[in-house]
Copies of this chain bind each other. A is one copy, B any other.
Amino acid sequence: MFYDRFRSTGYMTNWLARLIARAIDARLKPIGMSSGYMPVMFALAHGAALSQRALTEFAAIEQPTMAATLSRMERDGLIVRRADPDDRRAWLYSLSAEGLDKSIKVQEAGREINEAALAGLSGSEREAFLAALAKVVSNLESYLTKAKPADA
């Protein structure tokens, strides 16, 4: 029997990620935001001022991706940046008044979509699912770091 993509972690995960992003974007677009902004909104929600580097690590994305995201968020008036007084290379980002206000809507949207996603799963099924997700992420992380030196 050949490859059943509905039983492929890669296929299903990609599909699910796109569906969730679409659902989030549908909720956030009317208030001028989108799914890529979420990690930044969460990181800065309590008034923190973080560097691009810190935000990049928080969101677990690559630095140029974060740079582009921050640039769009600044364009949209959600964040402000000031020079880091201790390092002339760096900037410190924080939420604008508008961004702080909207960060509540972002949390609501996140909770709503997560709840819709897990509908019909029991408490223990949810626990098992989230635990498996964490395990699989960790597997892939080590798979990717292991692959690099082997090539060299």
Residues of A whose CB lies within 8 Å of any CB of B are 2-3, 5-24, 26, 35, 38-39, 42, 45-46, 60-61, 107, 110-111, 113-114, 116-121, 125, 128-130, 132-137, 139-141, 143-144, 147
Contacts and interface: CB of A to CB of B under 8 A. Distances in A.
Copies held by the complex: 2
Given A8-B110, A116-B139, A144 B14 contact: no
8 contacts: A6-B134, A8-B114, A10-B20, A10-B21, A10-B24, A14-B20, A16-B17, A116-B140
Contact of A23 (B19, B116, B140): B140
A6 B114 CA distance: 12
A16 B35 CA distance: 16
Q: Of residues A110, A111, A120, A140, which shows the largest number of chain B Cβ atoms within 10 Å of its Cβ?
A: A140
